[in-house]
Amino acid sequence: MEIIESVKEMQSLATAFRAEGKRIALVPTMGYLHEGHASLMREGRSLGEILVASIFVNPAQFGAGEDFDSYPRDLERDSRLAAEAGVDVIFAPRASDMYPPGYQSWVDVERLTLPLCGGSRPGHFRGVTTVVCKLFNIVMPHTALFGKKDYQQLAVIRRMTADLNMAVEIVGMPIVREADGLAMSSRNAYLTPAERESALCLSRALGEARTLFRGGERDAALLREKIVALITAEPAARIDYVELRDMETLDEVAAANERTLVALAVKIGKTRLIDNCVLGEEN
Ligand code: AMP
C-alpha cells in the first residue's frame, strides 16, 4: 500500500491507472477509521482493480466553532486498517495543497442542501461537494462509495454527480453499528462512558419509530413526537433535529410510508451525532 500526499502525484498515478485500463474505486473519508469505513473499503475492493481511500479532514466543511481542530487524527492506525481492508493507495493531501492561496471555486447543490444538516450547518455541504468534486478530478475514480450514515450527504453527492455529468458511479452502503446499536462514527471517540450510554437513545428512538410504523402507525407528526419524547427523556441529549422526509426528495411528509426517511441529529454533551433509517428498509 502506498501513501500519497501530493495532489499532482495522485493525479499522475490515476492517469497511469486509467491508461492501463484499470478500474479505480474511491472511498473518501476524514480518517480515524472504523468498521463503517472498512465496510466501504471491502466493497470498493470488489468493485475496482485499484482501491484508493482518501483521508482528509476537510476544513471547508467545518463551520466556525465546530470541531475541525479537535477532530481525531491517526494516520498510522488508519494505514494499518486500510491495508487490512485491501486499500492500494491512501491519498492524504495537505489542506494547503487542496486549497492553495488564491483558491475561490466552489460547487453548490441547491434545494437538497437546505434542510436537515444543511439547516444546522450552513456552508457544510458546499464544503463537502467541493472536496468530493476535487477528489473525483484528482483520483479519477470509476466508482465511489459513501455510507448511508450520512444520508443527506449521499443524496447531495448523487445529485451533484448527475447534474454535473460526472462519470462516476455512486454506491451507497448500509450503516454499520456497534453491537448495542450505536452507529459507528469517528466522533464517538469524544464520548465519555456515560455519554456513550446516553447516545444509545438515537438508535433506540429509530427502532421505536420503526416498530410503531410496522404496527400500522402512519401519522408522521405522531411518530416524530414519540421520537422526541424518547430522546428528551435522556438528560444528556439535546435535539438538533428530528425529521420525517421522503427518502429521495427530502421533502417533509405528513403521512409516513416505506420510503420515509427518519433523520436525527442530537447533541450528547458537546458531541453532535447523527443517525437515520428508512422505515421500509431493514438497515
Ligand atoms: P467520514 O470519515 O465520517 O467523513 O466518513 C467517510 C465515509 O464513511 C462516508 O461516506 C460516511 O458516510 C461513511 N461512514 C461513516 N460512518 C459509517 C457507518 N457507521 N456505516 C457506514 N458508513 C459510514
Where are the strands (E) in 228-283, listed by range?
237-246, 260-268, 271-278
**Cβ contact 117:125 at 8 Å:** yes
Judge whether residue 274 has pLDDT over 80. Answer: yes
Ligand 1 pocket by C-beta < 6 Å: which residues? 29-30, 36-37, 39-40, 146-147, 149-150, 173, 175-176, 183-186
Q: Give domain 2-173's CATH architecture.
A: 3-Layer(aba) Sandwich (3.40)
pLDDT score recorded for residue 282 = 83
Q: Mean pLDDT, to the nearest integer, of 238-250?
A: 98
Where are the strands (E) in the chain, listed by range?
2-4, 24-29, 50-55, 89-91, 143-147, 169-173, 237-246, 260-268, 271-278
Helices (H) and strands (E) in the chain, counts: 10, 9
Q: Mean pLDDT, to the nearest integer, of 117-143?
A: 98
Cα distance between the two ends of the chain: 32
Where residue 157 falls among pLDDT bands split at 50, 70, 90?
very high
Where residue 171 falls among pLDDT bands split at 50, 70, 90?
very high
Report which protein residue has its CA nearest ligand 1's atom 22: 147
**Cβ contact 198:206 at 8 Å:** no
Mean pLDDT of all residues belonging to the chain:
98
Q: What percent of the chain has pLDDT over 90?
A: 99
**Cβ contact 182:271 at 8 Å:** no
SS3 assignment, position 213: helix
**Cβ contact 141:48 at 8 Å:** yes
Report which protein residue has its CA nearest ligand 1's atom 5: 29
Report which protein residue has its CA nearest ligand 1's atom 14: 147
Contacts by residues 243-249 (CB-CB < 8 Å, ≥ 24 positions apart): 243/115, 243/116, 244/220, 245/115, 245/116, 247/278, 248/155
Tens-place pLDDT, residues 39-55: 999 999 999 999 999 99
Q: 2-173 and 186-276 share one CATH topology?
A: no
**Cβ contact 239:201 at 8 Å:** no
Residue matched to cell numbers 468530493: 132
Q: Which member of 34, 37, 124, 142 is catalytic? A: 37
Q: Please give the CATH number for the structural domain made up of 186-276.
A: 3.30.1300.10
For ligand 1, what atom is nearest to the CA of residue 146? 10
Is 34 considered catalytic here?
no
* Residue 116 DSSP one-character state: H
One-letter identity of residue 34 = H
Judge whether residue 283 has pLDDT over 70. Answer: no
Delimit the domains of the chain by residue range. Answer: 2-173, 186-276
Q: How far is the CA of 147 from the centre of ligand 1 (A)?
A: 5
Cell of residue 104, nine digits: 475561490
Residue matched to cell numbers 447531495: 156
Contacts by residues 241-249 (CB-CB < 8 Å, ≥ 24 positions apart): 241/116, 241/119, 241/120, 241/265, 242/205, 243/115, 243/116, 244/220, 245/115, 245/116, 247/278, 248/155
Radius of gyration of the chain (CA): 19
Q: Mean pLDDT, to the nearest integer, of 237-242?
A: 98
